[in-house]
Amino acid sequence: LLTKTQTRTTKQRKIILDELCKVKTHPTVDEVYDIVRKRLPRISLGTIYRNLEMLAEQGKIKKLEIDNQRMRFDGNTDAHSHIRCIICSSVDDIEIEPKVIWEEDSLESGYQILGNKVEFFGKCPKCRMREPE
């Protein structure tokens, strides 16, 4: 958790954010490491982890939950949905603004609902071509 009173703008942090915003993929920590290392060959993995975590807490990037094997991040913080291919598992942004509707009744859960997130799944262009339905 972010407890520090102050955060400084370091070369490393700036470049990590910059590179993450450039890519349209949803890179893992390792992938970010590889990308950033091209500009900062001596940067350490620990620094990548610490900065991605901090940037996500500050809302400058998003930590994704589309992969339960490892963390993935997204430099695009605009509200947008993702779609995953059920064949090859690749994940892409999707230009759709879904509306979610539900009946208010069974709120027995006791939760105060504050929002929701929609994720789509389907077949990506490549896989559709490979095995036409």
Contact 119, 84 (CB under 8 A): yes
One-letter amino acid at 113 equals I
CB of 123 to DNA, least distance (A): 24
Which of a copy of itself, DNA, none lies near 25, with the C-beta cut-off 5 to 8 A by kind?
none
- Is residue 1 within the footprint of DNA (CB under 7 A)? no
Nearer to a copy of itself, 54 or 85 (CB): 85
Q: If binding is defined by CB under 7 A, does position 8 make contact with DNA?
A: yes
CA distance 118 to 101: 12
* The pair of three-digit structure tokens given for residue 88, joined into one six-digit string: 């090859």
25 binds DNA per the rule CB under 7 A: no
Which CB sits closer to DNA, 42 or 99? 42
Q: What mask of x and - would describe binding to DNA in positions 26 to 55, judged by CB under 7 A?
A: --xxx---------x-xxxxxx-xxx-x--
d(CA 64, CA 34): 19
Q: What is the CA radius of gyration of the chain?
A: 18
CA distance linking residue 85 with residue 88, whole number of Å? 6
- Return residues touching DNA (CB under 7 A): 4-13, 28-30, 40, 42-47, 49-51, 53, 68-71
